[in-house]
């Protein structure tokens, strides 16, 4: 058994509005909002490790626990600054978590969801598992000739959640994870290259696969979309979030969205959204569904039952 104990986040101070990007990319600010739902995003001077550490510290403060009590750390990032080592060990060291296993999970966009699922299984062995997702997507965008269809989307940030074997505000009921490498070339970041994204294929597949995964976890628990209190998704594109709500025939207001403020922060986005939703709804009960889709393709959903 595993519980969600707390959720935290960090976003950089620098705000990059659509007007700033539009001037650089030769497009209109209104077009950016129309195709993505994004109004602004954050670019940070902080590294992936620095953002991960700050988000984790926020999460631990929300939980009221010491870093020394953490038994395992999992860090998701698809934008780390080097091939190896990944950011997990350094992040754990900065937090003062010495000797505990620190696992890197380089799964863009869906990494935080996969990490939460792993943490749910590992909590029985390690007690408390700290999940962190940190992405510096501005560095990815600046590292190659800008493609306006992708450059408009991404921002920087980090999110974290504490999975506890003993207590929390919601119990992890079940999860469903899937991967399909047949689509690997459609969303990729090669060494020394810019981000390649076949937007049409990504949106088409995500709009089909995310609702299917959500139905899987709900049906396994004997629940319907109408029973869910909140859907906390990877913040990829506002139009995609709307498509998922329509496919599930669920009220769109149940789908928390902060993409207008932060853009797509890859694997960090779902936990940033969860942290903000939790702070805005500290007494919320009932079922909560987490869902994500990303490069690989990797996708899935996780169901947590609140008290």
**All structural domains of the chain with their residue ranges:** 3-164, 170-306
3-class secondary-structure state, position 82: coil
Mean predicted confidence (pLDDT) in 276-304: 95
Could you count the other beta carbons within 10 Å of the beta carbon of residue 20?
14
CATH number for the region 170-306 comes to 3.40.47.10
Beta partners for residue 73, in sequence order = 102, 130
**Whole-prediction pTM:** 0.97
Q: Bridge-partner residues for 43, per DSSP?
A: 14
Q: Do domains 3-164 and 170-306 have the same CATH topology?
A: yes
Sign of CA dihedral 77, 80, 86, 87: negative
In 3D, which of 55, 79, 112 has the Cα closest to residue 233?
112
For residues 48-72, give the mean pLDDT. Answer: 98
Q: Is 80 exceeded by the pLDDT of residue 182?
A: yes
pLDDT in tens, 122-168: 999 999 999 999 999 999 887 666 678 889 999 999 999 999 999 99
pLDDT, the chain, mean: 95
Whether the predicted pLDDT of 224 surpasses 70: yes
pLDDT digits (tens, 9 = 90+) for 6-26: 999 999 999 999 999 999 888
pLDDT over threshold 80, residue 268: yes
pLDDT confidence bin for 274, thresholds 50/70/90? very high
Query: Which pLDDT does position 189 carry in this prediction?
Result: 87
Distance of alpha carbon 301 from alpha carbon 233, whole angstroms: 9
Q: 305 with 287: CB under 8 angstroms? A: yes
Report the CATH architecture of 3-164. 3-Layer(aba) Sandwich (3.40)
């Amino acid at each position: 058994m595993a519980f969600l104990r707390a959720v935290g986040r960090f976003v950089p101070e620098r705000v990059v509005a659509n007007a700033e990007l539009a001037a650089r990319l030769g497009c209109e600010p209104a077009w950016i909002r129309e195709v993505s739902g994004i109004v602004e995003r954050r670019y940070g001077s902080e590294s992936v490790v620095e953002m991960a550490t700050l988000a984790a510290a926020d999460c631990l403060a929300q939980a009221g626990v010491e870093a020394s009590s953490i038994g395992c750390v999992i860090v998701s990032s698809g934008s780390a600054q080097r091939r190896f080592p990944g950011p997990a060990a350094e992040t754990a060291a900065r937090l003062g978590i010495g000797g505990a296993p620190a696992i890197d999970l380089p799964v863009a966009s869906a990494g935080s969801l996969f990490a939460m699922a792993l943490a749910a299984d590992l909590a029985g062995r390690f007690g408390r598992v700290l999940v962190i997702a940190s992405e510096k997507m501005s560095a990815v965008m600046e590292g190659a000739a800008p493609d306006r269809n992708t450059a408009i989307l991404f921002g920087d940030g980090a999110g974290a959640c504490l999975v506890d074997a003993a207590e929390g505000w919601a119990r992890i009921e079940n999860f469903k994870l899937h991967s399909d490498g047949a689509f690997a070339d459609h969303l990729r970041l090669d060494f020394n290259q810019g981000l390649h994204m076949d937007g049409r294929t990504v949106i088409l597949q995500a709009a089909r696969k995310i609702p299917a995964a959500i139905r899987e976890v709900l049906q396994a628990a004997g629940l319907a979309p109408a029973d869910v209190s909140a859907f906390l998704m990877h913040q990829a594109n506002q139009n995609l979030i709307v498509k998922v709500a329509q496919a599930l025939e669920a009220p769109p207001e149940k789908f928390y969205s902060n993409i207008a403020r932060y853009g797509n922060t890859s694997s960090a986005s779902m936990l940033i959204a969860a942290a903000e939703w939790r702070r805005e709804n500290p007494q919320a009960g009932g079922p909560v569904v987490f869902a994500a889709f990303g490069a690989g393709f990797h996708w899935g959903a996780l169901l947590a039952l609140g008290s």
